Amino acid sequence: MQASIKPKPDNVLRTKPSVRTCVVCRESSPAKELLGLKVLNQMLVADEKVAGRGAWVHLRAACLDGLELDLLEKALRTKIDFENQKAWLTNLRLLAQKRVLECVGLARRSGKLLIGLDHIGKAKAHGSLVLCADDLADGSIKKCGAHARQFCSGDELGKAVGRQWAGVVGFCDVRHRGRAFFWWNLWEQLSFVA
């Protein structure tokens, strides 16, 4: 049987980054700079992407802090159980931390994670994402470089890579780095609820 040759789909439009409008400040930005919001059983849920009716908010403290019931109900056109904004944002920060640690674990399992100060030089050279534990000694933090980002405790970071403790990790591939940065950025922007 002769194989049919299908024309290749036009990828031109696909490579164009999609743009979303923030529900709080009304500014438009590339989708990867915004968090998706939708309603499930009257509860507001957040994720990197949302299917169906959704809203978007910037990964910025001011925009996240501006999430209010009236605004959300209007944008999502439904009743939402959102009485306690502070509690919701606190849970969102926990989710962000969990997601970063998942990325750390996934990168580790696929051999794309550098662990420990001795290996981080390589990550820095690649312009990668370096996360250091908040209980790492000051001198060691300096050695991680100016772009190193402080994150959770060394115990938690260690758990994600199957060790008792880890002071610093570096992502050396684009995919894990991108996701980890998205969630780390959200976690960082939500520092005001901590």
Q: Binder to Zn ion among 22, 37, 103, 107 (CB under 5 A)?
A: 22
Gyration radius of the chain over CA positions: 20
- Sign of the dihedral defined by the CA atoms of residues 44, 47, 61, 161, in that order: positive
Please, which residue, 65 or 73, has the CB nearer to Zn ion?
A: 65
d(CA 55, CA 47): 11
SS3 30: strand
| Minimum CB distance to Zn ion, residue 82 (Å) | 18
Give the residue at shortest CB distance from Zn ion.
22
Looking at beta carbons only, is 24 or 46 nearer to Zn ion?
A: 24
Structure tokens at 114: 């550098």
Confirm or reject binding of residue 63 to Zn ion (CB under 5 A): yes
25 binds Zn ion (CB under 5 A): yes
Q: Which two tokens stand for residue 48?
A: 């990197």
Using CB under 5 A, which of the segments 52-60, 71-79, 88-96, 98-106 binds Zn ion? 52-60
CB of 189 to Zn ion, least distance (A): 11
Q: How far apart are CA 131 and CA 31, in angstroms?
A: 24
Among 37, 39, 44, 58, binds Zn ion (CB under 5 A): 58
Phi, then psi, of 25 in degrees rounded to 5:
-95, -10
Please calculate the CA angle 39-42-44 and round it to the nearest 5 degrees.
Answer: 45
Region of 57-65, 79-87, 142-150, 164-172 interacting with Zn ion (CB under 5 A): 57-65
Given a contact cutoff of 8 angstroms between Cβ atoms, the answer to whether 112 and 61 are in contact is: no
Minimum distance of Zn ion from residue 120's CB (angstroms)? 33
Q: Which stretch binds Zn ion (CB under 5 A): 55-63, 93-101, 151-159, 179-187?
A: 55-63
**Element (DSSP H or E) covering residue 20:** strand 19-21
The CB-of-6 to Zn ion minimum distance in angstroms stands at 41
Residues in contact with Zn ion by CB under 5 A are 22, 24-25, 58, 63
